Amino acid sequence: MLLKEKVLEILQSLPDQFPLDVLVERLILLEKINTGLQQVEEGKIISQEEAKASLKKWQK
C-alpha cells in the first residue's frame, strides 16, 4: 500500500503541467518497489543461483 507522503513527494517532483500517464507510471513504479521491499523483508526471495537454474530449465 502506498503512503500518502510518498505520493505527495511524487506530485511535488513533477512540473506544474504533466501528462497523466507520467504520474500513473511513477505510482506504479513506487508500488512495485514497495512490493519488492516487502517481499525481501518476508524472506520471499530466491538466490541468484536458484534463479539461474530455473532460467536454464526454461531455455531448454
The residue ranges of every structural domain in the chain are 4-59
Give the predicted TM-score (pTM) of the model: 0.72
Residue with cell 505527495: 8
Q: What is the pLDDT of residue 41?
A: 96
Q: What is the pLDDT of residue 1?
A: 73
Residues of the chain with pLDDT under 50: none
Q: Is the dihedral of CA 27, 30, 36, 40 positive or negative?
A: negative
Cell of 12: 511535488
Q: What is the pLDDT of residue 37?
A: 94
Q: How far is CA 45 from CA 14, 17, 19, 37, 41, in A?
A: 33, 39, 35, 10, 9
